[in-house]
Amino acid sequence: MQLKHYVFSKDKIKEAMRLLHRVEWTVKRSSTNLFFGEYRSVFKGKGKEFDQVVAYEFGDDIRDIDWNVTARLGALYRKKFVEERELILTLIVEDSPSLLFGSGALTKRDAVMEIAGYLSILATGLYHRLCIVYVYPGGYSFIPPVKGRKQILSSMIKLFAMDPPSLWPIKQLAIPWSFLLKTLPRNTVMFWLGDFPSRPISREWFALSSRFEILGFRVEDPWEYALPQKESFLAFDPISGRVVKVDTAHPEVKKRQQKWRLEKDNYWKSLFPSKFSRCSLLLGTPLFPKLMHFLVERSIL
């Protein structure tokens, strides 16, 4: 897999800045204070160090109970940890050709970039560092962790200025899990954004998921739930790069669509078993309120 560095044109930079300003405006006009540090418990991270064993009190996290000490002393005890105050929020943007699909005015890729923008503003509001891993067919680009509004927004402009993936020639798209496992410190929280097609789970994924807190964000199109009620229509397939005819009245088409949907959902839930670690957003609906709802639910856990 190739690590690539980019040089952007002035037009690309201007287009990226327009998107970033729109994302900032959406956040600022919101009534919530989540992005300005009110809910610092949205992300716990796994960068913790063991401190001591203390008596369990009502309201403590049951996941921290030390069952060996509890069995030995006959009362509930828990492990006390000292958490890393500063986290490295890492955006993993998997820019697959399938994100170029959209049954409405916007594509799934447009929505993924918008969500990435909201999460980057979150990093500035909570005073964390932001790292970006942009993955495209045939390689990836690594933007090292930075801190502070100016530096984080500069990193986001680079992400927004990336060209959409080319449809031809077809190249393999793979996230550099081994590289991330070696590079990122324990106080890392990962945001994995993409389409999440069903595929084999790599061995490195299990090592990463036990080492880091990883959250998944996927964008879905209404057609993924139900195809339009027409006898037949033409649609662009971004994976094959062809215009294909879809006959929704044919029973086999509906059967294949339902099977594909089930396989994709099962894969999604196998990666993120907890509902608090996965967030699905629907293209064509306001993304920010749904994202906020997901984050607020996490903050009150």
pLDDT given at position 20? 86
Q: Which domains does the chain have, with CATH numbers?
A: 2-37+85-299 (3.40.50), 49-83 (no CATH)
Q: Point out which residues pair with 234 in neighbouring strands.
A: 245
Q: How many CB atoms lie within 10 A of CB 274?
A: 9
What is d(CA 164, CA 136) in angstroms, rounded to the nearest whole number?
9
What is d(CA 287, CA 301) in angstroms, rounded to the nearest whole number?
22
Paired tokens of 287: 């993304």
The burial class, CB within 10 Å (0-12 / 13-18 / 19+), for 160 is buried
Q: Express each pLDDT in 75-130 by its tens digit.
A: 888 887 655 567 889 999 999 999 999 988 999 999 999 999 999 987 777 778 89
Q: Express each pLDDT in 242-300 by its tens digit.
A: 888 888 878 888 888 889 999 999 999 999 999 999 999 999 999 999 998 898 887 65
Distances (CA, A) of 231 to 224, 245, 258: 17, 10, 18
> pTM for this one?
0.80
From 106, 39, 45, 22, select the one nearest 281 (Cα to Cα).
106
